[in-house]
Structure 1
Amino acid sequence: MSIEALILGKLHQKAEQRTSKSGKPFVTAKARAASGDGESLFVNVIAFSESACAALLALEAGDSLAMAGTLKPGAWVDREGNARPSVDLVVAKVLTVYGLKKKREASTQSPEQQPLESAPVVEFEQDHAWLAGGDA
């Protein structure tokens, strides 16, 4: 069973870029989302699209993010024999404050204050229709 989902949370550890056996790049990460009972739920994240991969790789552990994609719920058993929920998310879209933060920083500096070789502003998502439930 898989479910279309929007997960809000924080990146638990820095994302890692990997390469499949066929030579295609993908990114894996682990995110932490608050569950309704006040505890955290860890989400195993995998991204294949170039924009989602770039967005995840630009973040550091602890950065906030929103991810939309296909969720697959599951369970695992801990050392004490207790069943624990597991969640895997194949990410289609990632929304972060990273691009917005860089734009704001760049726009608040006068031309004299801007470094000659400043890092380019990275825009990860051009169309945010998926946030309102539309198709991107």
Structure 2
Amino acid sequence: MIDALISGRIRGAVTVRTSKNGKPFAAWRIATTDKNGDGVLCSCIAFSTTAIDAVQRLSDGDSLAVSGEAAINAWQGNDGLQRQGLDVLAHAVLTAYHLGRKRKGSEPPQDDREGGAT
């Protein structure tokens, strides 16, 4: 197991389903880059309700960060070349929405009257 923190952009649609035992889960893919600038595709799945709620609001191209357990995955592409990626069991998801909300909550209250307080 690899502890991972991955940031990137959603590729494709986020799917929310229910498992055979009735537990909801979300699945999606993240496109990111490695240290050489090469593209890496991460297949993510989440069972946490907070992670599911966060990611189901996103669509193709939206930015996010995911933390969780990762495993290296290898497959042969349609072009016959060997490809590698990551399978991620996401425990937490952070989006731009969360950052905006956190920043807004930490700002001091603003006086709505013109010219400030009197």
TM range (shorter): 0.7 to 0.9
Q: What amino acid maps onto 2:14 in structure 1?
A: A
Unaligned runs of 5+ in 2: 113-118
1:4–1:69 CA contact under 8 A, matched in 2: yes
1:99 is displaced (CA, Å) by 2.8
Considering Cα pairs closer than 8 Å and 6+ residues apart, tell me whether 1 or 2 has the greater RCO: 2
RMSD: 2.3
**Structure 1 partner of 2:35:** 36
More strand by share: 2
Bigger-Rg structure (1/2): 2
- Aligned pairs, number: 110
Detail structure 1 runs of 4+ shifted over 2 Å in the superposition: 99-105
Normalised to the residue count of structure 2, the TM-score between the two structures is 0.80
Unaligned runs of 5+ in 1: 112-136
Normalised to the residue count of structure 1, the TM-score between the two structures is 0.71
Query: How far, CA to CA, are the matches of 1:22 and 1:15 in structure 2?
Result: 21
**Structure 1 partner of 2:116:** none
The C-alpha deviation readout for 1:55-105, integer Å capped at 9, x for no partner, is 111112111111000001020012333211021000001111113335778
The percentage of aligned residue pairs carrying the same residue is: 36
